[in-house]
Amino acid sequence: MEAQLPGLPLKISERRALLTFGDILLVNGATLVALWLGALRSHWPFSLQFLISHIYWFLFLTVLWLILASVNNLYSLKIATDALSSAFATLKVTSQALLVYLLIYFLSPPQSLPRHVMVFFAILSLSFLVPWRSVYAIVLNATPFQRQAIIVGAGRAGRIIVQAIRDNLASEYQLVGYIDDDLAKQGQAIEGLPVIGTSRDLVFLVKAKNISEGYYSGHSSHSARDEGVASRSIVNSIYHVQPVFTDGRDIAANSTECLGTGAGTESA
């Protein structure tokens, strides 16, 4: 049996939660340091009382960051797992936050708001978030953090699922192979992915290869011109966590219900 590396496969929701938590933590860290630098520059006494009286900065900058990040798709995993795209998007969000604050500043009464704190924040948030997101992209792309997935059915619909995952979710999933009840397909590579067994082998394969998710292709009714639409639909389903099974420990009890009467009966 092929040795499997230990891993910590994370669900898409868990990846987003980790990314959001890291961002919030560092945004507030940048805010804290920005207030400290602002206090030094303006000769304000930096103390717990000072922080309590300026708590609105933490709330304002956190909410502003999350809104702008969402608008700019900064929590799209396709962007978050690409270090360069993530760095560019972070720069864009930080620039927009600075512009929003400057607009508020110039519309406010003179001397009512400090400028330097926001400038410090912009510089610090970039200094904190770009390295964090680069590490996130590198680490989460590593195999131990990917979810091992199997495709049930090696026909046209199965191939659409494979292509959709490769195009949009490659960092989240490592595809292990197809299972298909057509004996003629056994051992073949379809779209570069091997057919590794039939539905009778599912329980064994889940345990042997540490598979955590499986996607059932069903019966294909897609023509070639519909494959783009089908691909987007599949990606949307995966993002909303609708695989045929999501926990290898439970598949032994549910494999018959998951697969129905068999796998791979759709047309090739």
Query: Is the confidence at residue 105, as pLDDT, over 70?
Result: yes
Tell me what pLDDT residue 263 has: 53
Q: What confidence tens digit (pLDDT) does each residue in 42-95 have?
A: 888 999 999 999 999 999 999 999 999 999 999 887 888 888 999 999 999 999
Query: Is the confidence at residue 262, as pLDDT, over 90?
Result: no
Tell me what pLDDT residue 217 has: 67
Tell me what pLDDT residue 8 has: 62
In a domain, 150, yes or no: yes
Residues 152 and 93 in one domain: no
Average pLDDT, stretch 197-203? Answer: 81
Query: Is the confidence at residue 267, as pLDDT, over 70?
Result: no
Query: Is the confidence at residue 1, as pLDDT, over 60?
Result: no
Name the burial class of residue 92, with classes exposed (0-12), middle (13-18) and buried (19+) by CB atoms within 10 angstroms of its CB: middle
Q: Name the residue with higher pLDDT: 151 or 202.
A: 151
Q: What is the value of pTM for the model shown?
A: 0.64
Q: Taking a C-beta distance cutoff of 8 angstroms, is the pair 174, 149 a contact? A: yes
Total structural domains in the chain?
A: 2
Average pLDDT, stretch 158-173? Answer: 79
Least confident among 14-28, 43-57, 135-149, 218-232: 218-232
Q: Name the residue with higher pLDDT: 103 or 52.
A: 52
Where residue 21 falls among pLDDT bands split at 50, 70, 90?
Answer: very high
We report the CATH number of the domain holding residue 197 as: 3.40.50.20
The domain of 31 spans: 12-140
| Amino acid of residue 32 | L
Where residue 15 falls among pLDDT bands split at 50, 70, 90?
Answer: confident
Distance, CA of 227 to CA of 123 (rounded, Å): 45
Q: Name the residue with higher pLDDT: 4 or 161.
A: 161
Residues 27 and 135 in one domain: yes
Tell me what pLDDT residue 237 has: 42
Tell me what pLDDT residue 202 has: 78
How far from 177 is each of 131, 133, 142, 144, 236, CA to CA, in Å? 35, 31, 19, 17, 21
Residues 77 and 131 in one domain: yes
Tell me what pLDDT residue 200 has: 82
Q: Per residue, what are the HEC states of the chain?
A: CCCCCCCCCCCHHHHHHHHHHHHHHHHHHHHHHHHHHHHHHHCCCCCHHHHHHCHHHHHHHHHHHHHHHHHCCCCCHHHHCCHHHHHHHHHHHHHHHHHHHHHHHHHCCCCCCCCHHHHHHHHHHHHHHHHHHHHHHHHHCCHHHCEEEEEECCCHHHHHHHHHHHHHCCCCEEEEEEECCCHHHCCCEECCEEEEECHHHHHHHHHHCCCCEEEECCCCCCCHHHHHHHHHHHHHHHHCCCCCECCCCCHHHHHHHHHCCCCCCCCC
In a domain, 177, yes or no: yes
Residues 151 and 92 in one domain: no
Encode burial over 40-50: b for 16+ CB neighbours within 10 A, e otherwise.
eeeeeeeeeee
Residues 135 and 155 in one domain: no
Tell me what pLDDT residue 228 has: 42
